[in-house]
Amino acid sequence: MAIDLQELSKKLKHLRKDVLKQELEDVASQSGIHIEALREMEQGRREPTGDQILILSDVYKQELAYFITGERVDTFEKVNQLFRKFDKELTPQDRMNIQEFLYLCRCEHDFETMMGGRPRIIHFDPNLRGTFFKGHGWENAERLRKEFGFQDKPLVDVFGIARKLGYHIFRRKLGRSAISGVFIRHREIGNCILVNYNEDLYRQDFSALHELAHAIFDKDYQVNLSLEDEQRGPEERREWRANAFAGRMLIPRAKLERMDTSGDSELVADEVKHLCREYRANFDTGLYAMKDADRLTQDQVDDLKGTRKISQAEKDDAALVGHAPKVKVRRLQLMKRGLSPEYVGVCFEAYHRGLISQGRLAEALLIQLDEMPEIAEMYGEPLEMKV
């Protein structure tokens, strides 16, 4: 099929300049394609080779169909919508990181489809009676805890909850630390959640549950980007609901009602900190949870806020526990790029079943082919294809 050079040139320029905010020098460095060749492609004066199209598709983490057909590509449309809506909040690096996040979602979707479909253990429909948005969050958090059989126990794997609901969820390091999370509702892939790995571990859990709330409640949301301490006017009630859901998911009301708040402020603060360490929540999150359960007043929250801190040394990442120091360092590097053990497992399973090549496996893991033996050993995966 002949490529419309003028249409392709518009797409290349729009994707680089308007969507990802990159310079030609950046693309030349990443792609290995000479800058003059890239410039002529964007001017419609040079037809790229098939290999160059594949390289640019990989560099931009954009579906090949976007470049070579006239059809609308939902991944591009959603990213474009997100970047237009939050243009000032996103750095060029954030844009590329989000583009790469959606690429991982696409890979996970495609591989799971090859293997029979995305696993979905629990189907959950929210109850949204009335107009008390915080109440929506509290009630449905308690319902979801019950559905999963958590009752009043601490959540061990927040990200696993989203996966069992059928959502794609990833953590990766973003350039702007004020971004807590991103949510995209994709027509083909499904619900996609990104959590900023720059945040401390307990905050990552809260952010994951906050974006999960948007996925569950806000069916009209196609894209969402959450910032710390944001105010959105009419949209603020939805943020209250998402925060209420996240707080109640982390610490159930049954546990809060058993808390003793009769002592002086120092004793109460110590009790709240103990609670937060048990339930993997930051101290101020615990205070607001206590207030929402009518165990503390707003004045008490204001007095105690910031008086206790759970240090980073007291927090652990379940994905790194039990591994040797060298493995931890390498795994951490990969996790900051979005490669969770669960995602890596899906990729290797598709490879072992003979559904993808080792080269495609390396692409999905965002590594070079010569790095594959190290990654396979780290995750205990054989490289011999099982057929």
CATH code of the domain containing 49: 1.10.260.40
- Asked whether residue 264 falls in the same domain as residue 177, the answer is no
User: Does the pLDDT value for residue 233 go beyond 60?
Assistant: no
- Asked whether residue 122 falls in the same domain as residue 200, the answer is yes
Tell me what pLDDT residue 76 has.
65
The neighbouring-strand residues paired with 236 are none
- Asked whether residue 143 falls in the same domain as residue 244, the answer is yes
Distance CA 308, CA 276 (A): 11
- Asked whether residue 126 falls in the same domain as residue 149, the answer is yes
* Residue 112, C-beta contacts closer than 8 angstroms, at least 6 positions apart: 118, 119, 346
Across 17-31, 80-94, 308-322, 353-367, the highest mean pLDDT is recorded for: 353-367
Tell me what pLDDT residue 150 has.
92
Within a domain: 301: yes
Distance CA 79, CA 60 (A): 12
Within a domain: 364: yes
Within a domain: 385: no
User: Does the pLDDT value for residue 230 go beyond 70?
Assistant: no
* 315-319, 339-343, 359-363, range with the lowest pLDDT: 315-319
Distance CA 312, CA 196 (A): 16
Share of the chain above pLDDT 90, in %: 47
- Asked whether residue 157 falls in the same domain as residue 238, the answer is yes
Within a domain: 172: yes
pLDDT in tens, 103-135: 999 999 999 999 998 777 788 899 998 889 999
Within a domain: 101: no
What value does the mean pLDDT take over residues 82-89? 80
- Asked whether residue 127 falls in the same domain as residue 209, the answer is yes
Question: Can you give the C-alpha Rg of the chain in angstroms?
Answer: 23
- Asked whether residue 225 falls in the same domain as residue 174, the answer is yes
pLDDT, the chain, mean: 87
Range of 52's domain?
1-71
Tell me which of 239 and 63 has the higher pLDDT.
239
pLDDT in tens, 276-328: 999 999 999 999 999 999 999 999 999 999 999 888 888 888 778 778 888 88
- Asked whether residue 244 falls in the same domain as residue 258, the answer is no
Q: What is the number of domains present in the chain?
A: 4
Within a domain: 35: yes
Measured in degrees and rounded to the nearest 5, phi and psi for residue 366 equal 60, 35
- Asked whether residue 53 falls in the same domain as residue 127, the answer is no
Measured in degrees and rounded to the nearest 5, phi and psi for residue 229 equal 55, 40
Tell me what pLDDT residue 121 has.
75
How does strand 179-186 pair with strand 190-196?
Answer: antiparallel
User: Does the pLDDT value for residue 165 go beyond 70?
Assistant: yes
Question: Residue 22 — pLDDT band, cuts 50, 70, 90?
Answer: confident
Whole-structure pTM value: 0.85
What value does the mean pLDDT take over residues 136-149? 95
Cα–Cα separations (whole angstroms), residue 70 to 7, 58, 102, 320: 9, 19, 21, 44
pLDDT in tens, 195-215: 999 888 999 999 999 999 999
Tell me what pLDDT residue 385 has.
63
Within a domain: 92: no
